[in-house]
C-alpha cells in the first residue's frame, strides 16, 4: 500500500495531497411532483455534450464553498424557485465509467413537491418538462438507476413515515390522498381500510369546504396538522402492509 503525502502549495499557502487524482463531485436531483391527480417526475434536456439534448435529471457540480445538501438545495432552487422542500440524500454513484466525459462521482437526492405551488416558476432555460411517473423517457448515464432507487426508497419510507403529504396541496381530499398512495405503490388500496387508518393518525384537520368537481355530493377538504405531522414523523402508522413486497 502506497502512503499518501501532503505537500504545501506555496501559491495558496495550503497543503494538498500529493500524487492523487482530482475527481469531480456532482449532485443530481430526482424531483417528484403531484398535481392532485397524477404523480410525475421533472426532467430536463442536457445542454452539453456528451448526450446533448437527451433527457436528464437536474444536476450540477458542487461548488468549493458548499456542502452536499447545500448544493442540492441550490440546484433545486435554480430549476423550481422553491426553498425548504422535502429533500433527502439517496445514494452516491461512483462507477469510473458512469460519465464518459470525465471521472465524476454523483450524490443523488430526491425531492417531493406539490406541482401546483410552482407552475409558473420552472426555469425554461433548462427545457424542463413533467412526465407521468410510468411514462418517463430514457435517461442519460446511470440516471434511470437513480430514479428506480428513489422510487423504492419512497415506497418503503411512505409505509412508515408520512412523507407523501409533502406532495399534497395545502388542502386536499381523502380520495386525492388515496390516489397518490395507489400511484406510488402501483396497487389498489381498500377504500374503507384506508379511510380508517387515515383517521386514526390524527394528522388531518377536516374543513367545512367540499370539492364538488367530481360529484354533486362532493368530498370534504382536509389540511395537515403541521404540529402533529412533525411530532409523528418518526412513529407513523403503517398504511401499507408488507411494504417490502413493493421493493424491486
**Domains identified in the chain and CATH numbers:** 22-158 (3.90.79.10), 162-246 (1.10.10.10)
Q: What is the pLDDT of residue 80?
A: 83
**Helix, strand or coil, per DSSP, at residue 33:** strand
Report whether 139 contacts 85 (CB < 8 A). Answer: no
pLDDT tens track for 61-96? 999 899 999 999 999 998 888 888 999 999 999 999
**246, pLDDT greater than 60:** no
Residue 154 CB-half CA count within 13 A? 30
For residues 189 and 15, give the distance between their C-alpha atoms in angstroms, rounded to a whole number.
59
> Would you state the cell numbers that stand for residue 100, as one nine-digit string?
464518459
Model pLDDT, residue 248: 46
Torsion sign (Cα): 90, 158, 244, 32: negative
pTM of the model: 0.87
Question: What cell does 162 get?
Answer: 408520512
Bridge partners for 91 per DSSP: 108
Please write the tens of the pLDDT for every residue from 91-124: 999 999 999 889 999 999 999 999 988 666 676 7
Amino acid at each position: 500500500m502506497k502512503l499518501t503525502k501532503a505537500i504545501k502549495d506555496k501559491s495558496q499557502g495550503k497543503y494538498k495531497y500529493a500524487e492523487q487524482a482530482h475527481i469531480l463531485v456532482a449532485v443530481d436531483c430526482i424531483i417528484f411532483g403531484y398535481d392532485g391527480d397524477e404523480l410525475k417526475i421533472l426532467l430536463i434536456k442536457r445542454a452539453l455534450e456528451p448526450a446533448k439534448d437527451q433527457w436528464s435529471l437536474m444536476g450540477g457540480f458542487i461548488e468549493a464553498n458548499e456542502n452536499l445538501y447545500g448544493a442540492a438545495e441550490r440546484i433545486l432552487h435554480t430549476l423550481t424557485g422553491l426553498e425548504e422542500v422535502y429533500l433527502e440524500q439517496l445514494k452516491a454513484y461512483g462507477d469510473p465509467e458512469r460519465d464518459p466525459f470525465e471521472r465524476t462521482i454523483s450524490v443523488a437526492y430526491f425531492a417531493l413537491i406539490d406541482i401546483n405551488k410552482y407552475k409558473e416558476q420552472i426555469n425554461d432555460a433548462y427545457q424542463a418538462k413533467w412526465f407521468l411517473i410510468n411514462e418517463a423517457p430514457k435517461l442519460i448515464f446511470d440516471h434511470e438507476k437513480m430514479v428506480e432507487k428513489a422510487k423504492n426508497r419512497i415506497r418503503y419510507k411512505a409505509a412508515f413515515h408520512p412523507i407523501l403529504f409533502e406532495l399534497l396541496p395545502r388542502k386536499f381530499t381523502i380520495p386525492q390522498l388515496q390516489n397518490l398512495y395507489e400511484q406510488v405503490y402501483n396497487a389498489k388500496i381498500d377504500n374503507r381500510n384506508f379511510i380508517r387508518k387515515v383517521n386514526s393518525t390524527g394528522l388531518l384537520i377536516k374543513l367545512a369546504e367540499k370539492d364538488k368537481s367530481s360529484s354533486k355530493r362532493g368530498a370534504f377538504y382536509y389540511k395537515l396538522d403541521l404540529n402533529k405531522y412533525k411530532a409523528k414523523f418518526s412513529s407513523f402508522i403503517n398504511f401499507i402492509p408488507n411494504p417490502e413486497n413493493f421493493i424491486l
